């Protein structure tokens, strides 16, 4: 049992994405930084992805009333256990009566707290993932909440190469994209402008969409009927400034989609901080597949 002493800025219960509900207007939810989510579960000794806590900007303060085995991954929050600094990349043993806490994120934006056996939260429609925008499924932690977790057992694991951290490219973070379904509606220079511009992440970014400021792109003049939307879609609203949809995205949208961030870069996207500068880089569909396979091979090597 764990008591939430302080809920932090935004701490949510996350699970594997909830699929199949887009026809009812609900997107998949799930972790914004999927590699860190998987790494935390590995360190906690789980054989596969289990329900974990997604921490954003500022972590919660948790009082453990019983022994627990944890995995901490993702952004560096300067985690401490009873005041002792904890190392990242290895299993953490927690004694009954101990307090886990941290500080504002030092690198990245989101981290994950996994426990052996997963956090015991009621699943809805096959997943405990929290869809923050609709307030469906899972849970947003609040002060005073009490959480239960699965049966604990002795675990000791380490991650030699933290694959998620290696995905930050150069001076500017890079989100690689493939052409979107409406790219032909834009002028021939639109994609070149998108990929040749440095954009800055704004404080208005959420799990629903990554919002940026920078060059305004030329928009199509033809009207567009509402169509399906997805995680990673690069929409261009009438303002001309692109936005990238996150895991809590609307199920449909009427803005044309110029490009789509590749799945292998969802971790980078989920860790982008306000005021960080980013670039978009165009790749082929085949390259996107190869990059995703490489990432999945790394994850398979963990489990």
Q: How far apart are CA 259 and CA 250, in angstroms?
A: 17
pTM exceeds 0.75 for this model? yes
Q: How confident is the model at residue 172, as a pLDDT?
A: 65
Our CA dihedral for 198, 203, 204, 208, rounded to 10 degrees, sits at 80
Stretches where the chain sits below pLDDT 50 are 166, 168-169
The topology (CATH level 3) of 168-302 is Cyclophilin (2.40.100)
Residue 259 near residue 280 (C-beta atoms within 8 A)? yes
Q: In what order do the strands lie in the sheet with 68-76?
A: 10-14, 52-56, 107-115, 68-76, 92-94
What tokens were used for 247?
A: 């895991």
CB 190 within 8 A of CB 183: yes
**Residues 110-128: tens digit of each pLDDT:** 999 999 999 999 999 999 9
Residue 161 neighbours by CB under 8 Å, 6+ apart = none
Backbone angles phi, psi at 100, to 5 degrees: -100, 130
> What is the distance between the terminal CA atoms of the chain, rounded to a whole angstrom?
26
User: According to the model, what pLDDT value does residue 171 have?
Assistant: 59
| Nearest by Cα to 81 from 209, 70, 89 | 70
3-state secondary structure 79-98: CEECCEECCCCECEEECCCC
Ordered by start, the domain boundaries in the chain are: 2-161, 168-302
CA atoms of 46 and 303, how far apart (whole Å): 8
pLDDT of residue 131: 96
Q: How far apart are CA 261 and CA 289, in angstroms?
A: 12
pLDDT score at 298: 85
Annotate the chain with DSSP letters as a single string.
-EEEEE--SEEEEE-S---S-GGGT------SSHHHHHHHHHHTT-SS---EEEEESS--EEEESS-EEEEEEEEE---EETTEEPPSSB-EEE-TT-EEE--S-SEEEEEEEEETT-B----BTTB---BTTTTBSS-B--TT-EE-B--------B-SS-TTGGG--SSSEEEEEEE-TTGGGS-TTHHHHHHT--EEE-TT--SSEEEEESPPPPPPSS----EE--TTEEE--TTS--EEE-TT--SEE-S-EEEEE-GGGHHHHHTPPTT-EEEEEE--HHHHHHHHHHHHHHHHHH-
- Please give the pLDDT value at position 303: 74
Nearest to 49 by CA among 145, 142, 159, 129: 129
The answer to whether 187 and 265 have CB atoms below 8 angstroms apart is: no
Neighbouring C-beta atoms of residue 8, cutoff 10 Å: 21
Q: Taking the CB of residue 221, how many other CB atoms lie within 10 A of it? A: 6
Structure tokens at 142: 């609040």
pLDDT digits (tens, 9 = 90+) for 219-247: 887 778 888 999 999 999 999 999 999 99
């Amino acid at each position: 049992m764990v008591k939430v002493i302080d809920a932090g800025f935004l701490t949510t219960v996350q699970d594997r994405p909830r699929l199949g509900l887009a026809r009812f207007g609900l997107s998949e939810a799930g972790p914004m930084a999927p590699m860190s989510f998987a790494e935390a579960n590995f360190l906690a000794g789980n054989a596969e992805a289990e329900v974990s806590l997604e921490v954003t900007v500022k972590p919660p303060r948790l009082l453990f009333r019983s022994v627990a085995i944890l995995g901490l991954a993702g952004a560096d929050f300067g985690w401490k256990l009873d005041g002792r600094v904890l190392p990242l990349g290895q299993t953490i043993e927690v004694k009954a009566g101990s307090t886990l806490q941290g500080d504002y994120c030092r690198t990245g934006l989101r981290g994950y707290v996994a426990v052996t056996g997963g956090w015991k939260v009621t699943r809805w429609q096959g997943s405990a993932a929290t869809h923050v925008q609709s307030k469906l499924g899972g849970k947003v932690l609040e002060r005073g909440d009490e959480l239960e977790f699965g049966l604990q057992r002795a675990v000791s694991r380490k991650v030699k190469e933290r694959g998620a951290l290696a995905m930050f490219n150069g001076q500017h973070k890079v989100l690689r994209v493939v052409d979107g379904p409406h790219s032909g509606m834009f002028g021939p220079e639109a994609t070149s402008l998108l990929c040749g511009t440095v954009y800055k992440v704004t404080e208005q970014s959420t799990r629903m969409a990554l919002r940026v400021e920078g060059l305004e792109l030329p928009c199509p003049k033809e009207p567009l009927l509402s169509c399906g939307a997805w995680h990673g879609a690069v929409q261009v609203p009438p303002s001309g400034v692109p936005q990238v949809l996150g895991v809590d995205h609307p199920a449909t949208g009427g803005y044309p989609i110029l490009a789509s961030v590749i799945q292998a870069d969802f971790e980078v996207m989920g860790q982008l901080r306000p005021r960080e500068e980013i670039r978009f880089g165009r790749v082929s569909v085949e390259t996107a597949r190869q990059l995703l396979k490489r990432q999945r091979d790394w994850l398979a090597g963990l489990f």
